[in-house]
Amino acid sequence: MNAYSTKKAAENLGISTLTLRKWCLLLEKEKYIFDRNKNNNHIFYDTDLLALRHIKKLI
């Protein structure tokens, strides 16, 4: 399973890092759990990108 930083995930999705962070905050309010590294930064996996692509499609 591939792991991505916020920057790489945003590039992969074709959105800004700011948009990605906003979406993550909204998802976390709905109990979606993202992994985080030792610096408390999000770590995105392929499954997370699938969910985020679905959100992008809906928007």
Quick: pLDDT tens for 5-37: 999 999 999 999 999 999 999 999 999 999 999
Please report the pLDDT score of residue 55 as a whole number. Answer: 92
Among candidates 36, 18, 30, which has minimal Cα distance to 51? 30
Which domain range does residue 48 map to?
Answer: 3-58
CATH code at 38? 1.10.1660.10
- Cβ neighbours for 27, distance < 8 A, ≥ 6 positions apart: 34, 51, 55
Number of domains in the chain: 1
Among candidates 39, 41, 17, which has minimal Cα distance to 52? 17
Please report the pLDDT score of residue 56 as a whole number. Answer: 96
Please report the pLDDT score of residue 19 as a whole number. Answer: 97
pTM (two decimals): 0.88
31-57 tens-digit pLDDT? 999 999 999 999 999 999 999 999 999
Please report the pLDDT score of residue 1 as a whole number. Answer: 84
